[in-house]
């Protein structure tokens, strides 16, 4: 059982894809209002863990407690309704729809019409550029603007935990800065974040805690400030030195 300061507690998670085992007894905790950097080389199981926490892939074994409730067998849509939002790698927007329609779809189950309109206003206030682009097709936005739309969609419904999977992937360096600035805005609202990120040192600068996965297992966990160069080199190798 997690303590009152822990929003999410996953214990001994195993996940299989057919005969292939992807996670081996993985445990991770996210404290309320804090950011956890989830790091690891390609194929380490980071996205599998994110999808398991979000309910998009079933657990073989293990348990997940979120906000004091066991959600281990809860379907993905109910986890979302409970306050767990997942931004998948690849942005998770509808490129053929306008910005405003993307936001309307995101909040379609958020209570009354007035509550839905208020949720959309919150997203546009957090990212004013989306307001200026609200009638523009989402697929025509820049990469950074599309990521802001992804965040806006996730944040419009007032989540307690945001799982962000490689939001900077494939973006130019200046746009990466925009993404991290947006995540800093999320932090300031008090929302907890599980951040999967290729820019290792940027993630660690932002994070409070860190979990490093290696071949489907937890290699190290602790405070982000304690994840020094020797530790990163041990688990991440060249990825740690190049991804700044």
Residue 205 vs residues 8, 122, 165, 201: alpha-carbon distances, Å: 22, 27, 17, 6
| Domains located in the chain, CATH noted | 1-25+49-82 (no CATH), 90-198 (3.40.50.300), 204-244 (no CATH)
What pTM was computed for the model?
0.86
- Interacting residues of 25 by C-beta distance below 8 A, sequence separation 6+: 12, 13, 14, 62, 217, 218
- Interacting residues of 231 by C-beta distance below 8 A, sequence separation 6+: 212, 220
- Distance, CA of 239 to CA of 198 (rounded, Å): 8
- Distance, CA of 78 to CA of 220 (rounded, Å): 31
Q: What is the pLDDT of residue 142?
A: 85
25 φ/ψ angles, rounded to the nearest 5 degrees: 60, 45
Task: Read off the pLDDT of each residue in 95-106 and give the average, rounded to a whole number.
Answer: 93
pLDDT one-digit tens code per residue, 155-210? 887 899 999 998 787 777 777 887 788 888 888 888 999 999 888 999 999 999 99
Task: Read off the pLDDT of each residue in 19-23 and give the average, rounded to a whole number.
Answer: 94
Q: What is the pLDDT of residue 204?
A: 95
Please report which confidence band the pLDDT of residue 3 belongs to, taking 50, 70 and 90 as the band edges.
low
Report the chain's mean pLDDT, rounded to a whole number: 89
Please report which confidence band the pLDDT of residue 238 belongs to, taking 50, 70 and 90 as the band edges.
low
Beta bridge partners of 82: none
* Out of 25-29, 42-46, 63-67, 236-240, least confident range: 236-240
Three-class HEC string of the chain: CCCCCEEEEEEEEEEEECCEEEEEEEEEEEECCCEEEEECCCCCCHHHHHHHHHCCCCCCEEEEEECCEECCCCCHHHHHHHCEEEECCCCCCCCCCEHHHHHHHHCCCCCCHHHHHHHHHHHHHHCHHHHHCCCCEHHHCCHHHHHHHHHHHHHHCCCCEEEEECCCCCCCHHHHHHHHHHHHHHHHCCCEEEEECCCHHHHHHHCCEEEEEECCEEEEEEEHHHCCHHHHHHHHCHHHHHCC
Cβ–Cβ < 8 Å for 41, 62: no
Q: What is the pLDDT of residue 152?
A: 86
Q: What is the pLDDT of residue 239?
A: 55
Count of CA atoms in the C-beta half-sphere (13 A) of 181: 11
Percent of the chain with pLDDT over 70: 95
Please report which confidence band the pLDDT of residue 32 belongs to, taking 50, 70 and 90 as the band edges.
very high
- Distance, CA of 160 to CA of 84 (rounded, Å): 6
Count of CA atoms in the C-beta half-sphere (13 A) of 45: 27
Please report which confidence band the pLDDT of residue 2 belongs to, taking 50, 70 and 90 as the band edges.
low
């Amino acid at each position: 059982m997690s303590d009152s300061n822990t929003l999410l507690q996953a214990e001994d998670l195993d996940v299989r894809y057919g005969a292939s085992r992807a996670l081996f007894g993985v445990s991770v905790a996210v404290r309320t209002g804090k950011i956890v950097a989830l790091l690891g080389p390609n194929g380490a199981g980071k996205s599998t863990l994110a999808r398991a926490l979000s309910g998009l892939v079933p657990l073989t074994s293990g348990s997940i407690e979120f906000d004091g409730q066991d959600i281990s067998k809860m379907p993905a849509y109910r986890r979302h309704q409970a306050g767990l939002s997942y931004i998948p790698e690849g942005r998770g927007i509808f490129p053929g729809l306008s910005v405003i329609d993307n936001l309307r779809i995101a909040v379609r189950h958020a209570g009354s019409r007035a509550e839905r309109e208020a949720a959309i206003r919150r997203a546009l206030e957090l990212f004013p550029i989306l307001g200026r682009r609200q009638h523009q097709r989402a697929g025509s936005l820049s990469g950074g603007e599309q990521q802001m739309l992804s965040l806006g969609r996730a944040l419009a419904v007032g989540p307690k935990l945001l799982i962000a999977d490689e939001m900077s992937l494939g973006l130019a360096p200046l746009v990466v800065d925009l993404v991290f600035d947006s995540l800093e805005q999320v932090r300031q609202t008090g929302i907890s974040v599980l951040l999967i990120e290729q820019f290792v040192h940027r993630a660690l600068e932002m994070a409070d805690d860190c979990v490093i996965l290696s071949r489907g297992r937890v290699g190290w966990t602790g405070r982000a400030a304690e994840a020094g160069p020797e530790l990163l080199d041990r688990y991440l190798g060249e990825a740690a030195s190049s991804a700044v």
